[in-house]
Structure 1
Amino acid sequence: MNVQEDFNKFIKDAKRVLKVSRKPDKDEYIDLAKISALGVVVVGGIGYIIVCLGHVIGL
């Protein structure tokens, strides 16, 4: 495949995705925000624990 064919395939695929996608409703958006916030808190907590352990060990 050349660059032009790759680009045309990408545009075709992008149009197909936009056609079948839809805007989330309010409940779906709130659930997604809660899950994302929980993920940030979990990753931050793990990082905090690692830093605290590093200070205790003396690294």
Structure 2
Amino acid sequence: MNVQERLDKFVKDSKRVLKVSRKPDRAEYFEFAKITALGILVIGVVGFVIVIIGQLIGL
């Protein structure tokens, strides 16, 4: 597969993705935002607990 064929395939795939994608509505957007915030919070808490355990052990 040469460069031109790969470029054509990329453009074709990109057009297909843009055709089927849509803008999320307000409720869907806020649901994604809440899930993302919860994930960030969980990762932060896990990191905090690891640091506290490390300090208690004396590392």
1:6-56: CA deviation from partner (whole Å, max 9, x where unpaired): 111011001100010000000000000000000000000000000111101
Q: Would you say 1:39 and 2:39 are equivalent positions?
A: yes
Quote the RMSD (CA, aligned, Å).
Answer: 0.5
Q: Secondary structure at the match of 2:11?
A: helix
In structure 2, the residue matched to 1:28 is: 28
TM-score scaled by structure 1?
0.96
Give unmatched runs, 5+ long, in structure 1.
Answer: none
Q: Secondary structure at the match of 2:28?
A: helix
Matches of 2:6 and 2:27 in 1, distance apart? Answer: 38
Percent of pairs identical after alignment? 63
Counterpart of 1:56 in structure 2: which amino acid?
L
C-alpha displacement at 1:3, in angstroms? Answer: 1.2
Matches of 1:15 and 1:51 in 2, distance apart? Answer: 46
In structure 2, the residue matched to 1:7 is: 7
